[in-house]
């Protein structure tokens, strides 16, 4: 009887709910928020329950400094197995020879590459940061701008040209030939077009530079065949694992060059990090396994189709998208074309009140400061995970326009919020 009661209570009471109801309540509320809102932040996704189970596992209890077969702690046999599994799956997924799955984040992966392949003070080239780059690509107060010397290549700002607001490869070549950087960095946080890695490599070869591709945003599209691969062009590739790739929060570094791989391993540990997050590495292994399955290709393709449908709906409603559209999972909406007074900050806030989660984002040559902006960045990865297809993306575009056209009217937000909840209920999160 006692044993039966124990089993029952074990089954019905969640350990977190029993042990720390305060934290449990906060997490439950966040779960509800995710379930009943439309997630359009381009860098976010809904990872699978299997990934979350691995991340919440007993692997969190272990120190495993070092690498498989060469650890500084005993008891690592299963940690070796899981890290090797993650590495092998990642190699197969991205078609490369060497992988380091230990970086805790994308920014740390980038830092490890910088310190592995350059000396402090060395010059590197990256996109003008306000045109879609990342803070670890040369922001003044970031390690990349403090210890290294960034030179920036621009987008094409010629309104008359076909490639308006797209990478200006000729200008990039000119900047690089002049500055003779040690490394050229491509891959961005708010760039909606295909990246021509081959062209970057040609310029890198011309000036004797290494080519680094940060594919954090497009990793899932690359893995699923919906964006060209940076291999064989890039010497080194970094990514996060939690955006379009749909894994746990973390980073990864890949290369086909044995010497570069050795330098990177030393730079990650002991250069940048101590003990790896083995529970997250297990989650990465699960994520790579999921991405190797055939249906992930369909997912990646649908992400792009969904982004393009949302883009078209918004354009038809009078919004301007930078570069005129999208080839990948994200788009950058220039709100000023629809309403000169509309800021990214207002749009983000009004949409959130209606259950649509986005982020304000500067547009190229934005006259407004980064905390206000004239733009809104939208991505389709998370909604596609819910099962949204073109029909639902048209609805999402209409919701967005209803809210923004109402200039934040509370009644409109309430009505859209109710429609959003209904749509979310039709497409529950993966359980």
As annotated, the active-site residues are 63, 65, 214, 240, 243, 249
Q: Given candidates 134, 201, 284, 417, which one binds ligand DSN under the rule CB under 6 A?
A: 134
Question: What separation in angstroms does the CA of 198 have from each of 96, 213, 229, 234?
Answer: 16, 11, 10, 8
Report the residue number, 87 or 134, with the smaller CB distance to ligand DSN: 134
Please report, for residues 29, 52, 212, 423, the alpha-carbon distance to residue 25 in angstroms, rounded to integers and kept in the order given: 6, 18, 43, 25
Q: Please state the closest distance from residue 11 (CB atom) to ligand DSN, in A.
A: 39
Give 134 or 417: the residue with its C-beta nearer to ligand DSN. Answer: 134
- For the chain, helix (H) and strand (E) counts, in that order, are 17, 15
Cβ at position 105, least distance to ligand DSN in Å:
8
Q: What minimum distance in Å lies between the beta carbon of 240 and ligand DSN?
A: 6
Tokens of residue 349, six digits: 């806030």
Q: Are 377 and 330 in contact (CB under 8 A)?
A: yes
Nearer to ligand DSN, 76 or 331 (CB): 331
Applying CB under 6 A, among 106, 133, 283, 397 the residue interacting with ligand DSN is: 106
Closest to ligand DSN by CB, 195 or 209: 195
Question: How does 215-231 read in b/e, with b if 16+ C-beta sit within 10 Å?
Answer: bbbbbbbbbbebbebbb
Tell me the torsion sign for CA atoms 390, 393, 397, 403: positive
Say if residue 232 is preceded by a cis peptide, omega within 30 of 0: yes
DSSP element (H, E) containing 255: strand 251-255
Residue nearest to ligand DSN (CB): 43
Helical H segments across 95-190, by residue range: 106-117, 143-146, 169-179
Residue 102 vs 189, nearer CB to ligand DSN? 189
Compare residues 48 and 136 and give the one whose CB is closer to ligand DSN: 136
State in angstroms the smallest separation of the CB of 268 from ligand DSN: 18
Selection from 305, 330, 323, 312 nearest residue 226 by Cα:
305
Among 142, 189, 302, 385, binds ligand DSN (CB under 6 A): 189
Taking the C-alpha atoms of residue 350 and residue 368, their distance in angstroms, rounded to an integer, is: 18
CA distances from 122 to 151, 178, 265, 348 (A): 11, 14, 21, 38
- Residue 81 sits at φ, ψ, to 5 deg, of -60, -45
Minimal distance in Å, beta carbon 41 to ligand DSN?
7
Element (H, E) at 291: helix 278-291
Q: Whole-angstrom Cα distance, residue 145 to residue 172?
A: 19
Instruction: Please choose, from the candidates 176, 177, 194, the residue with its C-alpha nearest in 3D space to the C-alpha of residue 185.
Output: 176
Footprint (CB under 6 A) of ligand DSN, residues 37-56: 43
- Name residues contacting ligand DSN, limited to 285-344 (CB under 6 A): none
Q: Which residue's CB is nearer to ligand DSN, number 43 or number 336?
A: 43
Q: Is 428 exposed, middle or buried (0-12, 13-18, 19+ CB in 10 A)?
A: exposed
Instruction: State the minimum distance, in angstroms, from the CB of residue 212 to ligand DSN.
Output: 15
Find, among 312, 303, 243, 240, the residue nearest to 42 by Cα.
243
For ligand DSN, the closer CB: 249 or 320:
249
CA pair distance 65, 130, nearest whole angstrom: 37
Q: How far is the CB of 385 from ligand DSN (least distance, A)?
A: 17
- What are the angstrom distances between the C-alpha of 39 and each of 27, 53, 248, 368, 380? 17, 22, 17, 25, 8
Q: Cβ of residue 38: shortest distance to ligand DSN, in angstroms?
A: 17
Site string for ligand DSN, 53-72 (x = CB under 6 A): --------------------
Total binding residues toward ligand DSN, as defined by CB under 6 A: 5
Site string for ligand DSN, 201-240 (x = CB under 6 A): ---------------x------------------------
Residue ranges binding ligand DSN (CB under 6 A): 43, 106, 134, 189, 216
């Amino acid at each position: 009887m006692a044993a039966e009661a124990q089993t029952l209570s074990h089954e019905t009471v969640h350990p977190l709910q029993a042990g720390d109801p305060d934290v449990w309540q906060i997490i439950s509320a966040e779960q509800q928020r995710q379930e009943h809102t439309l997630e359009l932040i381009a860098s976010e996704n809904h990872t699978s329950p299997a990934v979350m189970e691995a991340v919440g596992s007993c692997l969190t209890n272990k120190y495993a400094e070092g690498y498989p077969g060469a650890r500084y702690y005993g008891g690592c046999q299963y940690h070796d197995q899981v890290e090797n599994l993650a590495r092998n799956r990642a190699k197969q997924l991205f078609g490369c020879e060497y992988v380091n799955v230990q970086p805790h984040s994308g920014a740390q992966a980038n830092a490890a590459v910088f310190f592995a392949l350059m000396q402090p003070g060395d010059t590197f080239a990256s996109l003008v940061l306000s045109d879609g780059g990342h803070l670890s690509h040369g922001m003044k107060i970031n390690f990349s701008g403090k210890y290294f010397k960034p030179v920036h290549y621009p987008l094409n700002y010629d309104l008359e040209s076909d490639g308006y607001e797209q990478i200006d490869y000729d200008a990039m070549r000119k900047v690089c030939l002049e500055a003779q950087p040690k490394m050229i960095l491509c891959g961005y946080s708010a760039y909606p077009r295909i990246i021509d890695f081959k062209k970057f490599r040609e310029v890198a070869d011309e000036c004797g530079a290494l080519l680094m591709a940060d594919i954090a945003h497009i990793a899932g599209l690359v893995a699923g065949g919906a964006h060209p691969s940076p291999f064989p062009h890039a010497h080194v590739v970094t990514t996060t694992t939690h955006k379009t790739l749909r894994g746990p929060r973390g980073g990864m570094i890949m290369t086909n060059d044995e010497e570069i791989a050795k330098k990177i391993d030393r730079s990650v540990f002991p250069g940048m990090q101590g003990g790896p997050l083995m529970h997250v590495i297990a989650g990465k292994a699960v994520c790579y396994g999921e991405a190797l399955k055939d249906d992930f290709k369909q997912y990646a393709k649908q992400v792009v189709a969904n982004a393009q449908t949302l883009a078209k709906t918004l354009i038809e409603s009078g919004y301007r998208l930078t570069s005129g559209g999208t080839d990948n999972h994200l788009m950058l909406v220039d709100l000023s074309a629809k309403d000169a007074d509309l800021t990214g900050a207002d749009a983000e806030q009004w949409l959130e009140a209606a259950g649509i989660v986005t982020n304000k984002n500067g547009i190229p040559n934005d006259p407004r400061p980064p905390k206000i902006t004239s733009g809104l960045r939208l991505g389709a990865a998370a909604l596609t995970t819910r099962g949204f297809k073109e029909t639902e993306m048209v609805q999402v575009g209409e919701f967005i326009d209803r809210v923004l056209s109402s200039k934040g009217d509370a009644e409109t937000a309430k009505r859209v919020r109710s429609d959003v909840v209904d749509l979310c209920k039709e497409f529950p999160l993966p359980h």
